[in-house]
Amino acid sequence: MGRYLALIGIWFAGFTLGFIGYLSYPALSQLAITALPFLMNVNNQIIGALVAGVASSLITVLAVSIWAYASRANSL
């Protein structure tokens, strides 16, 4: 049951951050365009997908790392 709960938690964390990343897309895309002017030539949907993907991947890696550390401490 512990692993299923951890997987559901990782899924929920990834979904939540992707959702927040999508909602924060307008502000983050303007920041990205200001920092990297060549992005003006890229489609807005591509930038939105990049923002959501980066946000989701970061939280997922963090959640899996925490899970791996916690399950290692339990097995010792």
Residue 16 has a pLDDT of 81
Confidence of residue 1 (pLDDT cuts 50, 70, 90): low
Residue with tokens 């929920």: 12
CA geometry: angle 54, 61, 45, nearest 5 deg = 15
Query: What confidence category does residue 75 fall into, taking pLDDT thresholds of 50, 70 and 90?
Result: low
Count the Cβ atoms, other than its own, within 10 Å of residue 48: 16
pLDDT digits (tens, 9 = 90+) for 15-65: 887 788 778 777 876 777 777 777 667 777 777 777 777 777 777 788 788
